[in-house]
Structure 1
């Protein structure tokens, strides 16, 4: 389940990206009740994009901010309570790591659901049902 964190350069202190990803990953797993799950934990992946000032925009104007995007099977982030918990926690994590300098209204997020069967886990494409069964055993 890839998480993408895009940041305007300087909104987090240098080196804080790894801490942000670790904490956002933990928040994603916790929101789903999967903390420590042996199947799901190593399959929540992430990457960070850091863009220079002047290359990030809101309302068509340059802005310094942060963007969180998830790509998940349709059963993940399907419940509004889970969505609210995860995205609220992820926003707070970035706000805190910025030294509270990055306003929460400059942290945007969205979730994208993938087509069933398009997840490649442990070298094999899996359906939602197959992932669910593997997670239940993890």
Structure 2
């Protein structure tokens, strides 16, 4: 389940990146009841993108910010409780790591669901059912 974490240069201390990724990963797994799942945990990957000042926008105007985007199968983030809980927690993780440099209104979290059957793990294209079966064994 890839995480793309993007932020504007200077909005966060560079040393906070690893801590933020670790906490976001832990939060997502915990909210899904998969905190120690041996199949799921290694499939949570992350990329960090730092964009130059002047390259982030809000409402068409230059702005600093941070963006948390998950790409998951459609069965993830399926309940309102998980959506509300994780998004609130993810926002707080980034806000606290910024030392207050970013307001919560400058932090955006979203989830993109993949097409069923398009999960490539270890070179195998897995359907949602196949992925759920593998996760249930971990």
Structure 1: unaligned runs, 5 residues or longer:
none
Structure 1 runs (4+) deviating above 2 angstroms are none
Task: Give the structure 2 partner of residue 28 of structure 1.
Answer: 28
2:16 corresponds to 1:16: yes
Q: Supply the distance in 1 between the matched residues of 2:111 and 2:104 (Cα, whole angstroms).
A: 18
Task: Give the structure 2 partner of residue 92 of structure 1.
Answer: 92
- Mapping 1:56-95, distance limit 5 Å: 56-95=56-95
Aligned length: 138
Q: Supply the distance in 2 between the matched residues of 1:114 and 1:101 (Cα, whole angstroms).
A: 33
**1:18 offset after TM fit, Å?**
1.1
**1:4 offset after TM fit, Å?**
0.5
Q: Supply the distance in 1 between the matched residues of 2:51 and 2:40 (Cα, whole angstroms).
A: 29
Q: TM-score, normalised by structure 1?
A: 0.97
Q: Supply the distance in 2 between the matched residues of 1:98 and 1:38 (Cα, whole angstroms).
A: 31
2:53 corresponds to 1:49: no
- Mapping 1:107-118, distance limit 5 Å: 107-118=107-118
**1:123 offset after TM fit, Å?**
2.3
- Mapping 1:115-126, distance limit 5 Å: 115-126=115-126
Q: TM-score, normalised by structure 2?
A: 0.97
**Secondary structure of the equivalent of 2:14?**
coil
Q: Supply the distance in 1 between the matched residues of 2:106 and 2:120 (Cα, whole angstroms).
A: 33
**Secondary structure of the equivalent of 1:100?**
coil
**1:100 offset after TM fit, Å?**
2.0
